[in-house]
Structures are given as structure tokens and as C-alpha cells.
Amino acid sequence: MSNATSSGVSAPAAPEAPRRATLKVKAGAYVALTKPRVIELLLVTALPTMFLAAGGVPPLGALVATLVGGFLSAGSANAFNMILDRDIDRVMHRTQHRPLVTGTLSVREARVFAWTLAVVSTLVLGLFATWLAAALSVAAIGFYVLIYTMLLKRRTEQNIVWGGIAGCFPVVIGWAGVTGSLDWPAWILFTLVFLWTPAHYWPLSMKYRDDYEAADVPMLAVVRGRPMVGIQVILYAWASLACTLLLIPVGGMGWLYTGVAVVAGAWFVGESHGLYQRAIKGERELRAMRVFHASNTYLTLIFLAVGVDPLLPF
């Protein structure tokens, strides 16, 4: 059919839809660079911490600035991580869809995006929250990129233990964003996330052991037997439970938090023991992802209680 209209004027040529689709794909790729599902978990720890730091509802301006700045900061760190890990992402089945592997984004585009998020996040936190929060944000990006991704991840089976420190920073950033300082409850919550991280991530590495082995990444599940991984998960789950209980006297926590810490902690420890029992029995189906998902639920419940407890009248 002709593109001419009845008046003799040519109708607009039509590659607009493909262009829009391309822009949509690009936008989705930039979002994927930030690892949004990981950021969701980080914000789950930062927001309730701000309520605890404020002893109630924090100032709206500081709350929004800290969450937005923290989101952009974490997105920057994750984008840098994808740039540096693009070689192993090509090998691992669960990461082969990432934008630098598929070619949806170039390395240059990703690098500009990562640096832009780093600068903007620092300015947002410094100008609208506190400069201590901004400094901690820069430290978090540096730790995740330089220490975990570049130094530890491909060299040691303890990579996720020490590299997991980067995931603890949202807690202290949230506290500093409200108070401009760091107090003992913030450090206890920092330690909680540190202890929780191996118990959370090692079950995932058991599920994707073959991926990590193919990529030559020495996750504990690759270099040790399944029973050893199971016992390590138990130890870190118990340590996480102990840390949550330490917050009760130090943070002046009430009955809601206390109850959640005890019940949720006992459940998470029980799931960890179940994983170990299945490992030592040599069961083919470890149900490792059950423990992984349980760890997410556990941390969410703990921090939900952290945020709600200060709002209660008694």
C-alpha cells in the first residue's frame, strides 16, 4: 500500500515503534545494571534502621534523601560489579542474560552510568541528608568494587564473608542519614547483616555450584563438600540469632522485636539444621533454595520489627 494520504501528502514513515522498543530495552538494561532485587533487600535494612535511629518517624527530607541516595549508591556499585564480572557472567547460566553479556549496553555506556550514579548518590546524601552518610556511601561502593569484586571474589573461598561487608553499609548509612553519627545499635545491626550474609548466600552457591565451578570462582560450595557448607550455614545462622538478641539491651528494644527475634531466629536456625541434615545424609535434593528464601524472609522480619518497635507506646 502507498504511504500517500488522500491529500497527496506522504504519511510519516513508520520506524517509530521499533525506536520506542529500542529505548525501552535500553532503559530496562540500565535498570538491570543496578541489580534492583538486590537493592530491594538493602533498602529493607536501611529504612527500619532510620526509624530506630529516630526513635520513631524520621524527618521526611532525611528519609527520602537517604533512601534515594542509598538506592543510587547501591546501583552504582552493582553496575561496576557487572562491568568487572562480565567475563564470568558469560560463563554462568544464571547471569548470561545480563546487559553486558547480551550486548544491549556497551562497557562504555555502563561505565558512564556507574560513575554518574556514584556522583549523584554522593551529592544527594551529602546535601540533603548528612555528609557522614555520603562518606559511608562512597566507602560502600569502594569496598564492593575494589575489595570484593576485584580482590576477594576470585581468590578465596571466604570471599562472601568479607565481601559481604559491603552489604552491611546500608544500615550505617541509614543511621547516619538521620542522626549524623554512629551509635552502638547501628554497629550491632551492621554485624547482624555481616553474620547473616554467608548463611544467606552459601545455600544459593550450593544451588549454582556448577556455574561457579565453570567460572573458576572459589565459592565455598565449590571447594568444600556439602556437609562443610551446611555446618558453616548453621554456625552463621546461630551467630545471627545471638546478634539479634544483643540488640535488645543495647537498643532498648521492646516486646515486639524480642518476640520476632526469638521466633524468627529459631525458625531460621531450624531451616539451617535441615540443610545440614540433608547434606550429611547424602540426599540428592538439598532444597538449598528453601534456606536461601528463608534467609530473606528472616532478615525482612527482623528489620520490620526493628522499624515498628520504636513506634509502639510500650
| Full residue range of the structural domain in which residue 106 is found | 31-181
- Flag whether 169 is in a domain: yes
Question: Per the domain annotation, does 154 fall within a domain?
Answer: yes
Residue 23 CB contacts under 8 Å (≥ 6 apart), including other chains = none
Residue 3 lies in a domain: no
| 116 and 175 fall within a common domain | yes
| pLDDT score, position 228 | 93
Taking the C-alpha atoms of residue 188 and residue 192, their distance in angstroms, rounded to an integer, is 6
Do residues 60 and 156 both lie within one domain? yes
Confidence at residue 293, expressed as pLDDT on a 0 to 100 scale: 95
- Residues of the chain with pLDDT below 70 are 1-21
Q: Are residues 226 and 175 in the same domain?
A: no
Q: In whole angstroms, give the CA distance from residue 37 to residue 24.
A: 19
What is the pLDDT, as a whole number, of residue 283?
85
What does the pLDDT read at residue 34? 93
Q: Is 14 part of any domain?
A: no
pLDDT tens digits for range 170-197: 999 999 999 999 999 999 999 999 999 9
Question: How far apart, in whole angstroms, are the C-alpha atoms of residue 169 and residue 157?
Answer: 22
- The pLDDT value recorded for residue 105 is 94
Residues 219 and 263 in one domain: yes
pLDDT value for 5? 41
Q: Is residue 58 part of a domain?
A: yes
C-alpha–C-alpha distance, residues 103 and 210, integer Å = 24
User: Do 121 and 216 fall within a single domain?
Assistant: no
* Per-residue pLDDT reduced to its tens digit, 206-224: 998 888 998 899 998 899 8
Total number of domains in the chain: 2
| pTM, full prediction | 0.88
Q: Is 27 exposed, middle or buried (0-12, 13-18, 19+ CB in 10 A)?
A: exposed
